[in-house]
Amino acid sequence: MSTNGTAARLDSDEVKLAMRGREAEILPAICPELGEAIEATGTKHVHCPFPDHDDKDPSFRIDNDNGCRAYCTCDAGKGDAIDLICRLRGCDFKGAMELIADYLGLVATTREVIRPSTFELVARAKNMPVESMVAYGAEAAKRGKVEVVRFPVRDESGECHSYFDLTPNHKGWFKKGKGKRE
């Protein structure tokens, strides 16, 4: 494997674990319009906080004992804490995770990004062991800007007269020549 540097990444499992049991605190902090529903206890219903739900009679409730699961007669008002944040803040799952992590003071972790080598990618794609490719004389090379695994093509005397280049997503290229290595 080759290293391509580092990248900051927010671990959603870590965020979910950190918010477990604190949904009743987190939801009204990120979505204040849920405060009344969070404070209501038991099966008490409140007016739905979603603007597209013409709620004449209270029909929305949040079950605080069940990870702040929301229940409503409208489809928008159903789901868990993350679903509610996504819908009320107009964001996707990643955006909701960022809002929750920001509230909880979690920081994105920096992790090393590891990219398989061209040899490993070709080996996987062509179902060939890397050791066999190396034993046959294959080398990492470039064909223009494309990274390839280059195999020598030999004549009956064992002299290299040309090359065959492979990439993970191409059948391969034949490189004519006198076998002079570049």
Q: Residue 164: in which H helix or E strand, if any? A: strand 160-167
pTM value? 0.52
Residue with tokens 């597209």: 52
Judge contact between 154 and 139, C-beta under 8 A. no
Domain chopping of the chain, boundaries:
9-110, 116-176
**Spatial separation of the C-alpha atoms in residues 61 and 145, rounded to whole Å:** 58
Across residues 29-40, what is the average pLDDT? 84
Q: What digits encode the pLDDT tens for the residues 114-163?
A: 677 888 888 888 888 888 888 889 998 888 888 889 999 888 888 888 88
- What is the separation of C-alpha 54 from the centre of its chain, rounded to a whole number of angstroms? 37
Q: Is the pLDDT of residue 167 over 80?
A: yes
pLDDT of 111: 57
Q: Is the pLDDT of residue 82 over 50?
A: yes
Architecture of the CATH domain 9-110: Alpha-Beta Complex (3.90)
Q: What SS3 state is found at 27?
A: helix
Q: Of 34-43, 122-131, 139-148, 173-182, which gets the smallest average pLDDT? A: 173-182
Q: What is the chain's mean pLDDT, rounded?
A: 79
pLDDT of 76: 59
Distances (CA, A) of 160 to 33, 155, 156, 163, 179: 74, 6, 10, 8, 5
pLDDT of 2: 45
**Spatial separation of the C-alpha atoms in residues 23 and 25, rounded to whole Å:** 5
pLDDT of 35: 82
Q: What digits encode the pLDDT tens for the residues 84-123?
A: 888 888 889 989 988 998 898 887 665 565 677 888 888 8
